[in-house]
Every structure is written in structure tokens, then in C-alpha cells.
Structure 1
Amino acid sequence: MSAQTSPEKSLLDLSREITPLLASRSREIETARRLPQDLAHLLAAEGFFSMWIPRALGGQGVPLVQSLQALEILAEADPSVAWCISIGISSTLVLPHLPAETAQQIFERPETIICGVYAPRGRADADGSDHFRVSGQWAFGSGTQNADWILAGCRFFEKGQAMQAQGGQPRTHMVVVPRDEVEFLDTWHTSGMRGTGSTDYRLDDVRVSNRFIAGWTPQALPDEPLYRIPQLTLLAVGFGAIALGIARGALNEFQKLASSKTATGQSQRLDERRDVQGEVARAEVKLRAARSHYYETAESLWEAAEHDRVGLEERSALRLSMLHAVAVGAEVCSVAYQLGGASAIYEDSRLQRLFRDSHVITQHVQVRSDLYSVIGSHLMGKPKTTEVL
């Protein structure tokens, strides 16, 4: 019974129930370098990809904190699954920015998956009617190979000249196209997060109606807390939950290993050694502290959104806690990997995969180190740009 037809069952319950299946298919997911289509379809049918779609459009309308907790649970079982869902749910935020009939056409089935790239790496040229010709190539298309509809950020042109927004900046929007218009490129060969299928994709002179351009015609957004939070904030917020879930998985995996392994030259099992116990305790308290801070700021942001008063204070606090969660998550995975010794280097060890996955997250543009200085400038009363928060 899916979440779509069983409202009495929470998404957190479903997350816990599905983790054994995800764990059993982790190696398959990594080898394929994308989610298997049957698994993606199952996750969509259970409502995971529609967590942030308003109920009025047929989605789940899940509150922020509960959706982050679901991502954390899923990431502990398989990080790539959680990542694809995180990108998928943030991609659905474009739906209310489209005409209602277009949004309903796109999300006509509850198991619809929408994924794509916000960055305006494409070009859309007006063709003299209410359509544009779209071309471009987008990198890091997580989950797009499983999607029914693909997002593509574009700059807009008319008669060869860049169109401008009201403030004089280049006019940019996201277009939404069916997957059969998209060419997927085999570019995703990476150290970690291999199962996300974050390959490049291309559009070549695809004709798109302005009905499928988010924000082309301003729409009244749902009067719901989620839509009072900036899209950029929501795009990155799930990374912290995923990092925390990966780190918890790494500690659990190490403890399984430690209960049966005696290192060469030692007389005690790993779990009996005081030095190992101390390292595990330090990692545990760091992880718990980072997790507590992360969810505290997420709850504060959501409370502010419920009262329509989301400000820079809440946004910067959540971004800081997300950055910290990602950093601590990678650190904890490093500790678990190092304590695992030579056992952790083999391909069949989950420790090495979780280590790799956690460190790939640290390289994402939304986790870049200069964001600390942006937040620090706000904390010290010398604010710089706030758009990145």
C-alpha cells in the first residue's frame, strides 16, 4: 500500500520499512551509476518524490522537518537514493510557478518524477510566437534519467538580444520539458555518489511553450509555509540530513566490524580496545551535536515560515547548520573508515563507499567554504550578499 493511498502511515514509517530493500540493492545502484527504474518508480509511488508538492496538486505536502528526517533515514541505507529524492523534491518547487493547468498536466500521475538543474546554463530564443527554442547542456543532473519531466535553467533572448528582468539583470527562468526531448550524456564517472546518475544532459533546439516556463507568467503561490522559504535555501537544506544519515550508517557499520575483528598484532577485538572506544565516543558526540543543531535550526525556520516571517537570521542559521552537518558527517565517516583498517578498503565494504559518498557532498557548490564568510559577515554585523543563503 503506497503513501498515496494510505495517509495514516507516515512517511517516516515508510522510510524505515523500505531501508532493508535499499540496502540490499546498494551495490546494484552504485554499479549502474543511477537508480534502477523499478526502484525509482516504487519510491515515487510511495510518495517520496512528491513530499514537497502541495496537496492541492496531489502531492504529499510534508512539513520540512519530517521530510529531512525521511532523507536522513534513507541516506543511512543508500545515500544515492536519498540524494536523488532531495533533488527531486526541490525540483518540484517550480510547479506552483507554472499555470495551474500546466502544473496539473505535468503532475497528472502521483508517481511522476521531476528533476533537473536550476543553473541557467541554457539559452532560450523567442521564435516570434509564444514559444522559445531551447538549447544547452547542463551538468550534475541527479536523478534525471529516472524523471518524467526535466528542468533546465536558461537565459532568455529575443532577436539575439538578452532579455532583462525588472532590475536590469539577465532574465532567467527554468523550462520544463518531457524526458523524451532530452539527450543524456555518459559523464557521471566519479569517486562517490555514483548511484545518483548525476550525468550531463542536453537539449538541442527544443521548442517550448511559455506555459512550461516557470515564472514566465507570475502565479499566486500556495499560502503554505514551504512557499515562504526561498527556493535556494530549500535546494540545499537536504544535504545536511543526507550527510548525517551517511555518518550514522558509517558508525553502525564500523561497530558491526568491530564486534568481530581483531587487528593484526592485537589481542583484543576492536570493540574491546580503549583507544577505539574513545574515538567512537568522540565521533558520536560530534554527530549528535551536529544533528541537534541542524534540526533545531530547521524547526526554527519552519516556525518562522508558519508565521510568514522568514528572515536572514533563520536562513543563515540553517545554512550554517547544514554546512556543519556536512563537514561533521564527512569527518565521522573518515574516523569510521580509518578505524576499520584494511578491512575498509575492499569494494564489498560499506565503510569505503560511505566514506567516498560523504566526501563527494563536501565538494558541492552549495557547501563551498566561502559561505562561512558570508554567514560570518552577518554574525559580525558586516553583511555581504545574502542571495546565496
Structure 2
Amino acid sequence: MQLTQTLSRAELVRRAQELVPLLQRNAPWGEENRRLHDETIEALKDSGVLRMRVPARYGGHESDSRTVVDVISELARGDGSVAWTASVWAISSWMVGLFPDEVQDEVFADPDVRISGILSPGAMAVPTDGGYLVNGKWSFNTGSQQSQWNVNAAVRPTPDGQHEPVMVLIPMSELQIIDDWHTSGLRSTGSVTTVAENVFVPENRVMSMIPVLQGQHSSVANADSPVYNTPFMPTACATVGAPALGMAKAAKDAFFERLPGRKITYTAYESQSEAPLTHLQVAEATVKIDEAEFHAHRIAEALDSKSAAGEPWTLEERARVRLDLGAVCQRAKEAVDILNTASGGSSVYSSVPIQRIERDIQTVNLHAILHPNTNLELYGRVLCGLEPNTHYI
């Protein structure tokens, strides 16, 4: 499929919906092999959804946040691991859009390029002639084995003898892989550990992280783009919350697909659909999915509207985004838990999707940035007049 024009939200969502059966079919293979199936990656590429956060001048769609949320949540209805990987590729592509334009020219020469990324500093960048020598490692590096570039966090020395966090952009061919992704959830994401040993990174592929977190960047061509004038953490939160929303919808789809003809064993109910308990369960799960969607869309709409209007963000607004992200994950997990509980003993077979969805949503809720309790505490601190205890806001 040749993509020659920017695709609308409706078209991208439609294409994501069309991918769902294929993603469902390939999900068991991905679990077994701990990476995405090649057919899945080709389908994502052909659909154009991987170009959502590629600048339009390179053939990308430069999609707004609401589009990104809606597309990625649809992918999660097929496979949560696909959606999580796509969310990492999307936010990492957006991050490259903050680098100097000549760096973007190199990376986006292929508009279908896949870029993975890690936000936690796991390496040291030591100044050398023309750039930096980087040594260290990054765990949980989603999709890195199936990516061409890696945008990672490191620290570099400062003149006062301290260190500051930086973003470093490295070709995957220059990193080593430690195949350690043996997990209970999100198995297909291939979130292995990558290692840098004396990797030279040119000066223009290194950016100070604190200005990036504050909304400053080095691109001239993207300076006036609403997509690239959104703050880093709210942008990331909107993107990585979408898989959780889609997983909850997938659980509902999976439950109702198996419902016809099922009975409740060791009871008089020959049809589970006639039991009042089932009515309460599906209604409560649906309410929680609706609540998750509200919070996911509230982040996206704030990003899109404030960026279009050129409005600054208050500290409370930034903290509320973290609250919304935690709420998406918490409500989505609660919905999946209800539907999983209602699915009966036969749902433990690996051929039944809801057991995988349950493990995937549990894994998402353990992520340090997505963890509901962490996000609740952060928002509460700000409401109580205290400073946030993190730069990631």
C-alpha cells in the first residue's frame, strides 16, 4: 500500500480496526516467540499507523493526540502487546521530532522507520571529540529488536561536578541485545535489555532532558507544529495509556464472544446470560471501561486544545494528566478483572484470549509511570501545595 497523503483520524482508526482479526490470530505466536510476528509488523507498516508521529514533510501523518489514542486503543482490541509496542514506537518517533532537523532528515529518510525508546537513564555519556562515548544498559526496551533506532536516556557530567540527564539517539545496529524478556505479561513486546559499550554518539544526537521535559526542543522545522508543541510527559501519558483502554475493550469483546451457550457449572443456570450476577458484572465492567475512556480522552483533548491555542500548562494540569493516566489503567484493570472472573474455569486455556488480556493489563499497571497509586499520590501532593517529587510531570 503506497501512502502518499496524510491520513485523517477516521481513516487511521478504520485501518486499525481492520487489523484486529490479524492481530488476534498472531497473538499466540507472539506470546510463544516473545516478539511481534513479522506479518503483524508488515500489516502495521502497510496500514500507515506507524507514521502517526512522523512529521508530514517526511510522509508522516503528524497526527494529533486524540487520533493516537483512538488508533492505539483499537490495536489493543486485537493484541495488547501490539498496542503497547506501537505506543512506544509512536512516542519515540515524536521524541525524534524534537531533535535537530538534520538528525530527523537521517532518521525519517524512511517514513516507516521504527524507533524504540527508554526514559529512565541507564548509561553514562562522557564527552569526547565531536560528541559522547556512551556506556550502559537499558532494560524493558520494548520492540528494540524490531526497531532501527533507539532513543534512550543517559547522564552526562556537568561543569560543577554533577550530572544531568540527556536523551541519546543511537542506531540499534550499534547496541547489544540481552535476550532476557521472560515474563508473564506483554510477552510479545520483546522488551529486552540493550547494552552500549563505548558507543560514539555525535553531539547533535544528544539533548539535555530537562528542557525537553519542560517543552523546549531543537527542531526549527517543527517549531510551529501543534503536534510538537505539547509537553513531553502529558504527550507520553496520552500515548501509553491507550493500550490499557483497548485491553479493557478487548476483554469485553472476548467475554461476549464466549457467552452464548455457556452455562454456570454446578448451578441451575443453563445459560450464563440469564443470571443476574452476569448482568451486574457486564454492567459494572462497562461503566469502568467508559470511565477509562473518559480519562484517556481528557488527556488527549487537553493536549490538542491547549497546543492549538498556544496556552501554557499549569503544574496542576500536568499533575492531573498523571492522575488521568493512573485512572485509565486502574479502571481498565478493574473491568478486565470483573470479566475475567466471570469467564469460568475454561478461560485458563491459552487458546482463550481473556487470560492473556488479564496478564497484560496486570503488567501495564505495574509500570512505574502508569502505576495508579504513584499517580494518585503525585496529584494529591500538588493539590496540597507541595512540590512534585519527580521531574516526570
Q: TM-score, normalised by structure 1?
A: 0.91
Deviations 1:3-40 (A, max 9, x none): 55574772111111111111111111111111123432
Unaligned 5+ runs, structure 2 = 210-216
Q: Which amino acid aligns with 1:142?
A: T
Whole-angstrom distance in 2 between the partners of 1:148 and 1:120: 20
Deviations 1:127-159 (A, max 9, x none): 3x1032211110010011111111221112xxx
Partner of 1:323: 326
Q: Which amino acid aligns with 1:314?
A: E
8 Å CA contact 1:91, 1:115 repeated in 2: yes
Deviations 1:98-136 (A, max 9, x none): 332221111111211111212221112223x10322111
- Is the partner of 1:223 in helix, strand or coil? coil
How far is 1:45 from its partner?
4.0
Partner of 1:264: 265
8 Å CA contact 1:2, 1:46 repeated in 2: no
How far is 1:96 from its partner?
3.2
Q: Are 1:39 and 2:40 counterparts?
A: yes
Whole-angstrom distance in 2 between the partners of 1:169 and 1:313: 29
8 Å CA contact 1:228, 1:310 repeated in 2: no
Partner of 1:280: 282
Deviations 1:57-85 (A, max 9, x none): 43210010011000111001111111011
How far is 1:203 from its partner?
1.2
8 Å CA contact 1:125, 1:132 repeated in 2: yes
- Figure out how many residues of one structure are paired with residues of the other and give that number: 381
| Alpha-carbon distance change, 318 to 97 in structure 1, aligned in 2, over 3 angstroms | closer
- Is the partner of 1:25 in helix, strand or coil? helix
Q: Are 1:375 and 2:379 counterparts?
A: yes
Partner of 2:231: 230
Give 1:293's match in structure 2, choosing from 272, 292, 295.
Answer: 295
Give 1:307's match in structure 2, choosing from 290, 306, 309.
Answer: 309
| Alpha-carbon distance change, 45 to 365 in structure 1, aligned in 2, over 3 angstroms | same
Q: Which amino acid aligns with 2:200?
A: R
Partner of 2:214: none
- Is the partner of 1:71 in helix, strand or coil? helix
How far is 1:180 from its partner?
1.4
Partner of 1:163: 158
8 Å CA contact 1:4, 1:110 repeated in 2: no
8 Å CA contact 2:54, 2:111 repeated in 1: no
- Is the partner of 1:253 in helix, strand or coil? helix
Whole-angstrom distance in 1 between the partners of 2:205 and 2:73: 32
Task: Report percent identity of matched pairs.
Answer: 27
Deviations 1:39-62 (A, max 9, x none): 324313433222122213432100
Q: Which amino acid aligns with 1:227?
A: Y
Partner of 2:100: 99
8 Å CA contact 1:185, 1:201 repeated in 2: yes
- Is the partner of 2:126 in helix, strand or coil? strand
Whole-angstrom distance in 2 between the partners of 1:5 and 1:299: 24
Deviations 1:197-243 (A, max 9, x none): 11111111112221322459944342122322221222232232211
How far is 1:385 from its partner?
4.3
8 Å CA contact 1:96, 1:222 repeated in 2: no
8 Å CA contact 2:244, 2:329 repeated in 1: yes
- Is the partner of 2:121 in helix, strand or coil? strand
How far is 1:332 from its partner?
1.0
How far is 1:169 from its partner?
6.0
8 Å CA contact 1:149, 1:179 repeated in 2: yes
Q: C-alpha root-mean-square deviation of aligned residues, in Å? A: 2.2
Partner of 1:186: 179
Partner of 1:159: none
Partner of 2:198: 205
